[in-house]
Amino acid sequence: MTLNSFIFKNYELKIKLFPFFALIFFSYGKGIAQRTEESKALLEEVSSKIASFDNIQFDFSYLLENRQENIRQETKGNVTLAGERYKLNFQQTTQLFDGTKIYTIVPENEEITITTKEDGEDFGINPQKLLVFYKEGYTFQWDIKQNVLGRPIQFIKLTPIEENKDIKYLLLGIDLQQKLIYRLIEIGTNDTRTTLTLSKIKTNVELPPRFFTFDPNKYPDYYINQ
């Protein structure tokens, strides 16, 4: 998805139409600046709304595609976040962060790995950063608007400010009705496309008191690696 480019080719009328062209370019430049400010304002509105919740819970699908390599892999998961704490279920693994330590629970291996926030394992999705990652390191550009099942989704193109060997750009889709993130599309430099789609979003859910607390008694036969 790229923005349309405009090229003026009529050189014979260049002198006569120069004031007209100058006006067009000036207006177009103002339009870009205005669109950038609209993008920033929308993202700030979304960020503020997310920050206002005591907690947020949603399902997601994670689709990895590379047509040249004939790769298409889709995984589903769900996550609950409350401040810095989170509980993530993804790729048959549960990752729990209680605010101090990360507990990675792998039923298939009957193994639990305990790490700190600083050296925690990275599953490609960091729940803490997922909803606010765009606040630093990107330029904003207003992109296309789509209607998805009757919902208006406005996409904003995010381009890394610093050169990134892995990412060309991102497309962040905002649900204009809910003012929440609906979809994130990452276009890689190797033409790999990953799409993260959020669904069944719930906020301020009543959670059990020890929802983010790791209980080793639930895993008596698991090997614990610390």
- Number of structural domains in the chain: 1
> Once rounded to an integer, what is the mean pLDDT over residues 169-182?
92
One-letter amino acid at 188 equals G
Domain-embedded: residue 199: yes
Over residues 133-161, the pLDDT tens digits come to: 777 788 888 999 999 989 999 999 989 88
pTM of the predicted protein model: 0.77
Domain-embedded: residue 19: no
Q: How would residue 164 be classed by pLDDT, with cut points 50, 70 and 90?
A: confident
Residue 40: phi, psi to the nearest 5?
-65, -45
Over residues 43-93, the pLDDT tens digits come to: 888 888 888 999 999 999 999 999 888 999 999 999 999 988 899 998 889
- Residue 12 in this model has a pLDDT that exceeds 70: no
CA distance 91 to 176: 30
Contact call for residues 163 and 174 (beta carbons, < 8 A): no
CA distance 167 to 187: 6
**For residues 161-180, b (16+ Cβ closer than 10 Å) or e, as one string?**
eeeeeebebbbbbbbeeeeb
pLDDT value at residue 33: 55
Q: How would residue 13 be classed by pLDDT, with cut points 50, 70 and 90?
A: very low
pLDDT value at residue 139: 87
pLDDT value at residue 130: 67
Domain-embedded: residue 23: no
Domain-embedded: residue 34: no
Of all residues in the chain, what percent are helix, strand and coil, respectively (each to 5)? 20, 45, 35
Radius of gyration of the chain (CA): 22
CA geometry: angle 81, 186, 62, nearest 5 deg: 50
Domain-embedded: residue 91: yes
CA distance 165 to 159: 12
Q: How would residue 30 be classed by pLDDT, with cut points 50, 70 and 90?
A: very low
- Residue 16 in this model has a pLDDT that exceeds 80: no
CA distance 79 to 75: 13
Instruction: Pick the more confident residue, 131 or 28.
Output: 131
CA distance 153 to 166: 26
Domain-embedded: residue 214: yes
Pairing of strands 111-116, 223-225: parallel
Of 46-50, 95-99, 119-123, 149-153, give the lowest mean pLDDT range.
119-123
> Once rounded to an integer, what is the mean pLDDT over residues 191-210?
93
- CATH number reported for the structural domain that contains residue 147 in this entry: 2.50.20.10
Domain-embedded: residue 7: no
Q: What Å distances lie between residue 58 and 72, 94, 110, 126, 156, CA to CA?
A: 23, 15, 26, 14, 21
Token pair 């430099």 is found at 189
> Range of 130's domain?
54-225
Domain-embedded: residue 25: no
